[in-house]
Structure 1
Amino acid sequence: MTRRRMIAALTGCLAVWLVGPATVHAANWADSLFVERSHHFGPVPRGAKVKHEFTLINRMGEPVTILNLRPSCGCTSGQASASVVNPGQSATVEAQMDTRNFLGEKSTILFVTLVTASGREAEVRLHVTSHILADIVLNPGSVDFGTVVKGQSATQSITIDRINGANWRFERMVSASRAITAQLVETKREPSGAVQYRLDVGIKPDAPAGPLRDEIQLLSNDRETRSIPVMVTGWVRGDLTASPSLLAMGEATSAEAKQGKFIIRSSQPFAITAVDGAGDGFSVAPLDGQRKTMHILTVAYKPEDGTTRGDLRRIFRVSTDVPGEPPLDLTATIHAAP
């Protein structure tokens, strides 16, 4: 066999080896539940935090549980809008990338573990990619207000620097949020081409209670980097509060059940109208409809009633009759031993 034919044969074997696993993965029943499984953020400034929501639609004839989210890189994180997705319903899986420590093309994977009520388990790979610029820097990379009491205003600022941008400027801002204010000010323009802007972002006093997750798009006159995203996050705390924020229930074996408690408070008497998220070994009680200023919800997990094992994470959505208050999302974790 000639050297050229040997190389061709080895190349063909390598192609079969590479295509084989990909074909098997493409046949994964869980892949078809996602509307898309890859996203390219395009050019983004260094330091920026960018996010994308992948939509999952349950086309199965049984509930599907989002069991676990695992990133391939420390620069990536993920969160799901729900733990259990019933047939015909949808949920989102948000993938977030932090670009502080990278330049150029950067790709990562968010591994999503799904399991059906009948016990079928599969892993979906969600790919996110950014082209991280060296000449535009955000500091800090996003606006995070943390927890803000409803009715109070709060303001944070970030800077946007560009080198070799003598003719570069922002033309306008775009945001769909009615809970925040934003003001963009040019603070420096030097003959060397160095340009700096400051973005001041505030939360309005009338912002509704609940999570704040928005994105401000800064539109420039640069055709190659037309839009720069700035992520805005926070939590507006209303009259309704819950503790702990994360209930760690430890480890459950096949011989014992585990319990934990959430305490939900308000300054005025209220009733819990619904709790979503129970099932597959998890239960929540009591739901007595009583109106009082404090409710104690007991979360229980029975291994014999669950179909999955390992590290489990469950989100319980608690709805109340408190006017103007959105549902509370309470998270519980447990390790179910084999």
Structure 2
Amino acid sequence: MRRIALLSFLLSLSAFQLFAQSGKFEFEETSYDFGNIHEGNGKVSHEFKFTNKGSAPLLITNIVPSCGCTSPTYPKEAVAPGQSAIIKAEFDPLGRPGDIHKTLTIEANTEPATTVLYITGMVIPKPKSLAEEFPDSLGSIRLASRYMSLGGITNKEPVTKEFGVYNDGDAAVTFKPVEGLDKHMKVDFEPIILQPKQKGIIRITYDAKAKNDFGGVTDNFQLVSDDKNGTKTAITVNATINEYFPPMDEVQIEQSPRLEFSKTVHDFGSVKSDKIVTTEFEFTNTGKQDLIIRKVKSNCSCIVTTPPKTAIKPGAKGKIKVSYNSAGREGAESKTVTVYSNDPRGANQALVIRMKVGQE
């Protein structure tokens, strides 16, 4: 027993001595705010000065930055007790506009074994050149892109979004009225005559209610002008349409329809090539008003859906039939069917079907 007690004492003493001989950071500061950082001016750096207040040489084994945009430089040799050294943090603002919050995690023979330094700031984007602002060249006309995104919109009311256009030619360009548009979209130009080296606006007004669709939608129009270097270009307009719900309190939400599926995933398992397989997703309206399935859309032309055509009363059940055609397909597949409804708690719900397509 006495030997065991002596051994325990010696081990404890050894651990105490090891701890006592650790290095110890004492930084003048552990965080630094660069303030405004101008992206066009290149990299910025700051030096964090520290002193080893421990009883043993302090050895930094690694510094891990939270981002590849931040590079640390630190002493590779041990810093003796009482001596000072510097850790340099260099930040590259290129392509990182806005607020920054970065860390440098130092690994060393200290207690605790890691120490964190912080850098913050605000990156001011560099002014874009005309080529950067309008990279898509259509003859003399330049656009940011011939693919114009309206982003997420609702069917509450028409929305308008403006897209820049630039005349890079040496002659004025006159835009022609856009023809063949459906009633849900309108396109205007300002000004109609765009002088050389002048910026203008293409204004798109979109009525999602008149479109009568949900989810991702695409429309096209022809941009026509008297530009001698390019008179006609197809422009694509994208949007994601969602149901509009006015602000509701808890009582109103509780009184609304509610779409609840008994399952949201179906695995067909192995499916032969050139085969059509079908499943049904059953749901219940657990709300207190009629449930209306607005739209059912899939992410593949290989899928055909059959939603209910009438409103589902509170407490009633319904089914959405989903058929998958494996023709021309092979291997493991996962497809999504999105159900759009008037349920404010789950207006867009995803159903997933999986399968493995093969010859056998």
TM-score range, shorter chain: 0.3 to 0.5
More strand by share: 1
Greater RCO structure (CA 8 Å; 6+ sep): 1
